[in-house]
Amino acid sequence: MKLPNLANSFRFTRDMWSSPWVAAIGRFAALVAVFLFFAVLVEGGKFYTPRNLENILRQSAVYATAALGMTMIIIAGGIDLSVGSMIALSVVTVAWILDYHYAVPGSQGQVETVYLIHRWPVLLPWIALVAGVLVSVLAGFINGITVVGLRLVPFIVTLGTMGIFRGLAKGLAQEKDIYPREDTWLTRLMDPTLTSHDPHWRAWILPPGVWILIIAAIVAALVLRYTKLGRYIFAIGSNEETARLCGVPVGRVKIATYTLGGLFTGLAGLMQFSFIGGIGQPTSAIAYELFVIAAVVIGGGSLMGGQGSILGSVIGALIITILYMGGQQMGWPKWVQETVIGMIIIAAVVIDRLRQRATS
């Protein structure tokens, strides 16, 4: 009689720890613990001032938006190391279009410079927005078609495109920062709202870029949970061969997943453009792939595929940002911050493997 009771007890414990609600509560508890750690140790209460809290939200919005696409890619059993370069390419594309100018003959034989933003002050920012997102979507599609078409390991493909996309960004910017002649609403996407002196801007409550993240996260969660594509992504990540035998179009789903990843990375590029002050900086977002992958892994994504959640990745992005900004305010050298984040990634992977063994 004792053996069945023991088996039932083990089964209950296993089911409890594998529950998504328990996992979500655990990640939220980790977020609170990390925040309280720095709130106590940073002197003068500077860590929980409205300005600093808003800065945490602004920075984490860039990581989290890129992590939405990375979540889908990792669930499908892939990875994308070119995220930071794609963000930089998007940033430079937006700035290049906003700063586009050409020479025309002027009076008395002189040459005049005409800035397109002066001709199309309303339309040009929208063109820049669409182009900035589309160039990242195209980059994601290239990653997907290369992985599927050449049957190469995603790690190798995206390691190569990381250099290619960064090189394209530097080439478009001619290896220097681009300073658009006029500020537009694109420049203000990530401007602080709580500490703004403009009552109309404060009415947003959160920066527009954060609202974009919230909407994008809801859409991504709905896609993963309620669409055929979402079910296929989980199926491929869990067991690709079984999914193929069941009729799942594995190649097309992988291409679509990397393309969607490019879409979310393009949105992150728009936020990054605003966050760094509306500058086309080809060297921006260096090592962002580390932060984005860390956010997904900390949020419960498995590098083996088949597991991950949008909410978890957003929480993971907040944890990464708090660690980064908290370390800065405590005077940690950059190498210490990077070491801590690397150790957290390894710890998260180890915990994931132990959890898989316990629930199998």
pLDDT higher than 60, residue 359? yes
Structure tokens at 270: 């728009």
Per the structure block, which two tokens stand in for 158?
């995206």
pLDDT, tens only, 179-216: 998 889 999 999 888 777 777 778 888 899 999 999 99
* pTM above threshold 0.95: no
Q: What is the mean pLDDT of residues 27-34?
A: 90
Q: What is the pLDDT of residue 106?
A: 67
Q: Which of 19-23, 134-138, 149-153, 339-343 has the highest mean pLDDT?
A: 134-138
pLDDT, mean of residues 110-124: 81
Q: What tokens appear for 8 in the block?
A: 């039932």
Name which residue leads in pLDDT, 48 or 224: 224
Contact between 133 and 269 under an 8 Å Cβ cutoff? The reply is yes
How many CB atoms are located within 10 Å of the residue 338 CB? 16
Query: Which stretch of 60-69, 148-157, 183-192, 209-218 has the lowest confidence by average pLDDT?
Result: 183-192
Q: How far is CA 325 from the centre of its chain?
A: 17
How would residue 134 be classed by pLDDT, with cut points 50, 70 and 90? very high
Q: What is the DSSP string of 193-258?
A: STT-S-HHHHTTSS-HHHHHHHHHHHHHHHHHHHSHHHHHHHHHHH-HHHHHHTT--HHHHHHHHH
Cα separation, 124 vs 112, whole angstroms: 20
- Given a cut of 60, whether residue 51 has pLDDT beyond it is yes
User: In the predicted model, is pLDDT for residue 3 greater than 60?
Assistant: no
Judged by average pLDDT, the poorest of 86-95, 315-324, 335-344 is 335-344
How confident is residue 118, by pLDDT bands cut at 50, 70 and 90?
A: confident
DSSP state of 278: S
List the helix and strand counts (H, then E) for the chain. Answer: 15, 2
Mean pLDDT of the chain: 89
The pLDDT value recorded for residue 171 is 97
Residue 113, CA distances (Å) to 100, 105, 120, 121, 278 in order: 10, 9, 15, 16, 21
Report yes or no: 295 and 317 within 8 Å, Cβ to Cβ: yes
Residue with tokens 């059993």: 77
d(CA 38, CA 327): 8
pLDDT band at 1 (very low <50, low <70, confident <90, very high): very low
Q: Please tell me what DSSP assigns to residue 305.
A: S
**Please, what are the domains in the chain?**
21-359 (1.10.3470)
Q: What is the pLDDT, as a whole number, of residue 114?
A: 76
Residue 134 is encoded by which pair of tokens? 């589309």
Express as a percent the part of the chain with pLDDT over 70: 91
Q: Mean pLDDT over residues 143-156, rounded? A: 96
Collapsing DSSP states into helix, strand and coil, what is residue 285?
A: coil
Is the pLDDT score of 17 beyond 70?
A: no
> 46-58: string of b/e by CB count within 10 Å (b at 16+)?
ebeeeebebbbbb
Banded pLDDT at 55 (limits 50, 70, 90):
very high
Q: Is 20 exposed, middle or buried (0-12, 13-18, 19+ CB in 10 A)?
A: exposed
| Whether the Cβ atoms of residue 125 and residue 185 lie closer than 8 Å to each other | yes
From 87-96, 138-147, 299-308, the region with the lowest mean pLDDT: 299-308
